[in-house]
C-alpha cells in the first residue's frame, strides 16, 4: 500500500503561526468524501498526541440549546426547526436546506463563521508541532488556502458507500445525493499536499499516518529554524 504522497498539488507558503519550543505550529486541514475514513484518521492522530479540531463537533456546539445561532436559524427556516425544549431539529434543518442552495448558503453564513472562530480560538492554545482541522467541506467552502497543509483521505466510492450504508442506515440513494453534492475526488486531490489511501486495512492506514506525522513534525521544526520574526 502506498504511503502518503508528499508535495502533491499546490504548495502553500508555510506560516509560522506560533513558535513554541523550537517548533512552528502548522495549521493542517484534514478532509475527504463521505465515508472516506476521516474519523479513523483523526482518532489515530489523537493517540499520537495531536490536537484535532473537528468542524462537525463545533457545529453542534454552536447550535446547541441556548446558543444565538439557534434563534437565527429559526428565523431563517421557521420555528418548526426548534423543538419544545429549545433544541435544534437537525434532521428538519437538513431536509429544508439540502435541495435549496440559497437556504443552505444562508444557513452556512450563520454557522460557519462561528465554527471557524471557535476552532481558531482552540488552535491558539495548541503547543504541538501542528494542529489538525478536520473539515468535511473544506474544498466546497473555499478554505484550503487558509492552511499550511491539506491532507486528503481517499477511498474508492463503492467502498465509501458500503461503509456509510453499514454504519448509518442511509440507503444508496441518500448516499449518492450527499456524495454528488460534495467536491469531486479530482478537486480534493488538486487541493491536497498530502494523500492518505484508505482502501486497505486499518493497519495500513495507521502506517501512512505514522509517516505523515513524522513528516509534519520535521517540517514544523525545519520551519522554526528559518522563520523570520
**What are the pLDDT tens digits along the chain (229 aa)?**
444 444 444 444 455 666 666 667 899 999 999 999 999 999 999 999 999 999 999 999 999 999 999 999 999 999 999 999 999 999 899 889 987 889 999 999 999 999 999 999 999 888 889 999 999 999 998 999 999 999 999 999 999 999 999 988 788 988 998 899 899 999 999 999 999 999 999 999 999 999 999 999 999 888 877 765 5
CB atoms within 10 A of CB 219: 20
Burial of 220 (0-12, 13-18, 19+ CB in 10 A): buried
Give dist(CA 106, CA 98) in Å, integer.
12
Which strand (E) or helix (H) includes residue 14? none
Sheet holding 194-197, edge to edge: 5-6, 194-197, 149-154, 26-32, 130-134, 51-54
Nearest-angstrom CA–CA distance, 43 and 30: 12
Amino acid at each position: 500500500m502506498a504511503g502518503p504522497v508528499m508535495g502533491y498539488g499546490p504548495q502553500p507558503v508555510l506560516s509560522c503561526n506560533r513558535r513554541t519550543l523550537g517548533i512552528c505550529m502548522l495549521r493542517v486541514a484534514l478532509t475527504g468524501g463521505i465515508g472516506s475514513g476521516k474519523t479513523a484518521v483523526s482518532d489515530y492522530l489523537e493517540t499520537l498526541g495531536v490536537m484535532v479540531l473537528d468542524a462537525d463537533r463545533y457545529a453542534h456546539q454552536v447550535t446547541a440549546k441556548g446558543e444565538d445561532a439557534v434563534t437565527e436559524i429559526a428565523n431563517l427556516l421557521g420555528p418548526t426547526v426548534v423543538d419544545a425544549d429549545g433544541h435544534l431539529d437537525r434532521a428538519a434543518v437538513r431536509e429544508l436546506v439540502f435541495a435549496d442552495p440559497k437556504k443552505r448558503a444562508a444557513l452556512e453564513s450563520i454557522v460557519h463563521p462561528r465554527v471557524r472562530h471557535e476552532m481558531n480560538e482552540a488552535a491558539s492554545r495548541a503547543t504541538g508541532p501542528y494542529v489538525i482541522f478536520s473539515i468535511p467541506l473544506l474544498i466546497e467552502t473555499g478554505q484550503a488556502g487558509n492552511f499550511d497543509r491539506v491532507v486528503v483521505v481517499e477511498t474508492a466510492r463503492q467502498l465509501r458507500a458500503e461503509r456509510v450504508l453499514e454504519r448509518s442506515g442511509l440507503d444508496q440513494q441518500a448516499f449518492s445525493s450527499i456524495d454528488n453534492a460534495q467536491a469531486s475526488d479530482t478537486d480534493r486531490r488538486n487541493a491536497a499536499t498530502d494523500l492518505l489511501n484508505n482502501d486497505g486495512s486499518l493497519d495500513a492506514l495507521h502506517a501512512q499516518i505514522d509517516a505523515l506525522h513524522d513528516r509534519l513534525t520535521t517540517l514544523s521544526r525545519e520551519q522554526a529554524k528559518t522563520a523570520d520574526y
